[in-house]
Structure 1
Amino acid sequence: MRLLLALGNPGAKYRDTRHNIGWWLADRLALRWGAEPFRPHGATVGATAWTTGSGRPGVEIHKPLTYMNRSGEALAALLAARPAAPRLDPAADILVLVDDVALPAGRFRVRKRGSPGGHNGLASISASLDSDDYGRLRLGVGRPPDDRIDLAAWVLSRMSRAEEEEALGAFPRAAEAVEYWLDHGVEAAMNRFNRPG
């Protein structure tokens, strides 16, 4: 079983914000693969979906409802609910879909490990796994144009129309990167899809 964990915040207030770009891609992947609708998975975990259609058996897409800063709690609950065997290997079987201010809108990078880099959602996941050794697809949302703009406020704001078009324009290739990760692993996906610079 492979697990895609899309980070974001629940509720209409956050739906269209930069911080939820991982959820946007998760929705696109579910549509692309003919997945079942997202449905609740326990009181603590929140909305999840199991993707089995369109040639993608053995893949689950999860959108935690624990809020960004507690994403690791959702992951821990998901893993605890799984059968003991076969054991899931985070380094090979988990890919986190997450926003990244270090990349401009329309860019993405596949990473096989790394520190959270100040991202509270990734920090929560790393704490839950007691490891930074898990894959992530970092989706660019750009930096604030002014250093005086609070970063937390920035990621909880909406993109401009031009930025959103750039971000959504990258989704077909980002979806291909996820599929390549599923078929060939994180190293191969990094080599094929990461642009220099």
Structure 2
Amino acid sequence: MKLIVGLGNPGIEYQFTPHNAGFLAVDRIAEDCGVVMANRRGRALTAKVKLGGQDVLLAKPETFMNLSGLSVAALVRELEIENVSEDVIVLYDELALPLGTIRIRQNGRANGHNGVKSVSGALGTEEWLRIRIGVGKPALADGREGGQQVRAGGSDYLLSPMRKQELAVLDEVLDRVKSAVEMVLTKGVSAAMSEFNRRPDEPGSEESKEKQ
């Protein structure tokens, strides 16, 4: 069974904050699959789904972001997952990426993200698949990415409710995250990275195809 974990903070006050993009992504997958994240196991809200022809457990840790790894490690043990690098996918927010973008990576450092730090620490490795959901400022007019500009007040920004127009952009991104997860499951991570690690308006991207 594959384990797909969205990182975030439990509680209605955090529901629509940038830091909960991972929770929102897992919720979107659950909604599209017609299930509710209502079961509790491994210190997380979970639901079983069939995605990309595979059995998947969706999970939202209830440990708060900084202790996400405790839940992920508990679920890995419970599901008897031996190959974390292939069978675990973690979805989380990335301040350094502009809102509207996603990036798939097979490993990487935390870069200041306490949830990622906790997961790597609990699993004892940075070799796990992650889909990073951009929540930083949109790309600038000259094409440079503006995500880094909010770093100074990052913690306040990440835990503040998103504005209506930001949520509208994120809503489209969540569908893209689900498609990326499905492609990882059906065609492999290399194919998914080739498809989704490009800018939304790049030729060949899903968004570019839809506009044509």
TM-score, normalised to structure 2, is 0.82
Structure number with higher helix proportion:
2
- Structure 1, unmatched stretches of 5+, are none
In the alignment, which residue of structure 2 is the partner of 1:90?
A: 84
The alignment of Structure 1 onto Structure 2 pairs a total of residues equal to: 191
Equivalent-residue separation in structure 1 for 2:156 and 2:185 (angstroms): 34
Equivalent-residue separation in structure 2 for 1:70 and 1:17 (angstroms): 18
In the alignment, which residue of structure 1 is the partner of 2:128?
A: 134
| 1:99 equivalenced with 2:93 (yes/no) | yes
Aligned pairs for 1:33-112 (under 5 A) are 33-41=33-41, 45-52=43-50, 56-83=53-80, 87-112=81-106
CA distances 1:117-156 after superposition (whole Å, capped 9, x unpaired): 1100000000011111011110011157966852111111
Asked whether the equivalents of residues 2 and 54 of structure 2 are also in contact (C-alpha less than 8 Å), the reply is no
In the alignment, which residue of structure 2 is the partner of 1:31?
A: 31
Query: 3-state DSSP class of the match of 2:12?
Result: coil
* Cα displacement (A) at 1:56: 4.4
Structure number with higher strand proportion:
2
- Structure 2, unmatched stretches of 5+, are 138-146, 203-212
| 1:160 equivalenced with 2:163 (yes/no) | yes
Asked whether the equivalents of residues 53 and 186 of structure 2 are also in contact (C-alpha less than 8 Å), the reply is no
Equivalent-residue separation in structure 2 for 1:15 and 1:163 (angstroms): 14
Asked whether the equivalents of residues 105 and 131 of structure 2 are also in contact (C-alpha less than 8 Å), the reply is yes
Are residues 37 and 71 of structure 1, via their aligned partners in 2, closer, same or farther at CA, if it must alter by over 3 Å?
closer
In the alignment, which residue of structure 2 is the partner of 1:151?
A: 154
In the alignment, which residue of structure 2 is the partner of 1:123?
A: 117
In the alignment, which residue of structure 2 is the partner of 1:14?
A: 14
Are residues 105 and 147 of structure 1, via their aligned partners in 2, closer, same or farther at CA, if it must alter by over 3 Å?
closer
Query: 3-state DSSP class of the match of 1:164?
Result: helix
Asked whether the equivalents of residues 95 and 148 of structure 2 are also in contact (C-alpha less than 8 Å), the reply is no
Asked whether the equivalents of residues 106 and 168 of structure 1 are also in contact (C-alpha less than 8 Å), the reply is no
